Amino acid sequence: MSANTNNNVPVLETQHLVKRFGGLTATNDVNFTLASNGRLHAIIGPNGAGKTTFFNLISGRLKPTSGKILFKGEDITGYSTHRIARLGISRTLQIKSVFDALSVEDNIWIAAQAKMAGWHPLRSARHFPDTQRRVDKVIEEVGLQEIAKREAGTLSYGDVALLEMGIALASDPELLLLDEPICGMSPKETQRTVEKIVELSKLVNVILIEHDMEVVFDVADDITVMAQGGILAQGSPSEIASNHEVREAYLGFDEDDDGELAIMPNEQDIGQPSKGAHSNG
Ligand SMILES: Nc1ncnc2c1ncn2[C@@H]1O[C@H](COP(=O)(O)OP(=O)(O)O)[C@@H](O)[C@H]1O
Ligand SMILES: [Mg+2]
């Protein structure tokens, strides 16, 4: 993978990014910068904070109301999802999206081919060996070698999540956006998937939206806290954990015996701002 090629230009930058749905400001003047540095960046924040909308804007599923999105310095604001994907931004969805009747390998093949050949049948044939190499590499990267021939519909929840990451990686992206990839998993599946995400973050720039605080504070190098469409705080896990505003509004804290702050992972402990709170219309 080709991450970390140029450390001067940020991989991703948003400038005064705004998205309104009628009177609701889902993205409120977001200035976000991600350097290409092999660090795992997590975005946290309560339900409705605007995390998924932010990904939808970056990946082109939604057009911003105003503001700019730069990818490796190129202004991609308003580009189609297809064009953005081909430039090197890939994402997984909060909703599972694999072809159940196809094998693991074929699911990844389809995604790899879309990038390599742009679906052109003659070019497909010419790119066949490249595509196969890419597919094999991705299957190895996500750790699905042993079940590469299995139908996706027969996979466990955790394996489906790894397959979805494989599909997202098939196009050899420079930026991978993961939206709550461990949602609904058993602790064991969570652990395996999280380990894989950490590994992948060394190969490709990853932004991880995650509501499991325990996971985030365990694995993230940098954390952005979103609230009411805006960025409430940014920093290392320890900076975020000690940030007064974040503590007040979004995290529950306990004093451990040794006086260390313990982050309570229970989502119920995270403040849920009312929708009206960020309505501006
Ligand atoms: N397509 C849409 N149309 C109208 N409102 C939306 C749409 N998508 C998201 N919203 C609203 O925008 C706010 C942010 O949503 P979202 O980005 O999904 O939050 P998060 O992912 O942080 O839970 C919510 O109030 C949500 O209801
Ligand atoms: Mg979401």
CATH code, domain carrying 112: 3.40.50.300
In a domain, 114, yes or no: yes
Q: What is the mean pLDDT of residues 193-207?
A: 94
In a domain, 180, yes or no: no
- Other CB atoms within 10 A of residue 255 CB: 9
Backbone angles phi, psi at 241, to 5 degrees: -65, -30
How many angstroms is it from 93 CA to the middle of ligand 2? 9
Which residues 6+ apart lie within 8 Å of 194 measured at CB? 182, 215, 218, 219
CA–CA distance, 179 with 43 (Å, rounded to integer)? 9
Q: Residue of the nearest CA to atom 8 in ligand 1?
A: 53
Instruction: Among 124, 156, 172, identify where a domain stops.
Output: 172
In a domain, 59, yes or no: yes
Residue 103 and residue 72 in one domain: no
Mean pLDDT of all residues in the chain?
84
- Which of 161, 143, 141, 147 shows the shortest CA–CA distance to 106? 147
At 123 the pLDDT is 57
Residue 56, domain extent: 6-88+203-272+274-278
In a domain, 109, yes or no: yes
Residue 53 and residue 118 in one domain: no
In a domain, 117, yes or no: yes
Q: What is the pLDDT of residues 58-92, one digit of tens each?
A: 999 999 999 999 999 999 999 999 899 989 999 88
Contact (CB, 8 A) for 160 and 98: yes
Atom of ligand 1 at shortest distance to CA of 179? 21
How many angstroms is it from 53 CA to the middle of ligand 1? 6
pTM attached to this predicted model: 0.84
How many angstroms is it from 178 CA to the middle of ligand 2? 10
Pocket test for ligand 1, best of 21, 59, 211 (most atoms within 8 A of CB): 21
Residue 64 and residue 101 in one domain: no
Q: What is the mean pLDDT of residues 39-47?
A: 94
Residue 113 and residue 78 in one domain: no
How many angstroms is it from 200 CA to the middle of ligand 2? 21
Residue 39 and residue 80 in one domain: yes
Axis crossing angle, helix 128-142 with helix 187-203, rounded to the nearest 10: 130
Residue 168 and residue 95 in one domain: yes
Contact (CB, 8 A) for 149 and 163: no
Residue 10 and residue 84 in one domain: yes
DSSP state of 152: G
Residue 159 and residue 222 in one domain: no
Residue 112 and residue 167 in one domain: yes
Residue 84 and residue 211 in one domain: yes
How many angstroms is it from 88 CA to the middle of ligand 1? 25
Instruction: Among 156, 172, 188, identify where a domain stops.
Output: 172
Residue 256 and residue 124 in one domain: no
What end-to-end distance do the CA atoms of the chain give, in Å? 44
How many angstroms is it from 191 CA to the middle of ligand 1? 28
Q: Residue of the nearest CA to atom 4 in ligand 1?
A: 21
Give me the number of domains the chain comprises. Answer: 2
How many angstroms is it from 246 CA to the middle of ligand 2? 19
In a domain, 189, yes or no: no
In a domain, 193, yes or no: no
Give me the sheet containing 24-34, strands edge to edge.
24-34, 12-21, 66-71, 74-75
CA–CA distance, 203 with 16 (Å, rounded to integer)? 29
* Residue 137 buriedness (CB in 10 A; 0-12 / 13-18 / 19+): middle
Q: What is the mean pLDDT of residues 177-189?
A: 90
Confidence tier at 152 by pLDDT (50, 70, 90):
very high
Ligand 1 contacts (CB < 6 A) are 21, 24, 26, 45, 47-53, 275
Q: Is the pLDDT of residue 38 over 60?
A: yes
In a domain, 225, yes or no: yes
Pocket test for ligand 1, best of 18, 47, 53 (most atoms within 8 A of CB): 53
Atom of ligand 1 at shortest distance to CA of 54? 17
Residue 75 and residue 99 in one domain: no
Q: Residue of the nearest CA to atom 11 in ligand 1?
A: 26
Instruction: Among 149, 172, 195, identify where a domain stops.
Output: 172
Q: Residue of the nearest CA to atom 5 in ligand 1?
A: 21
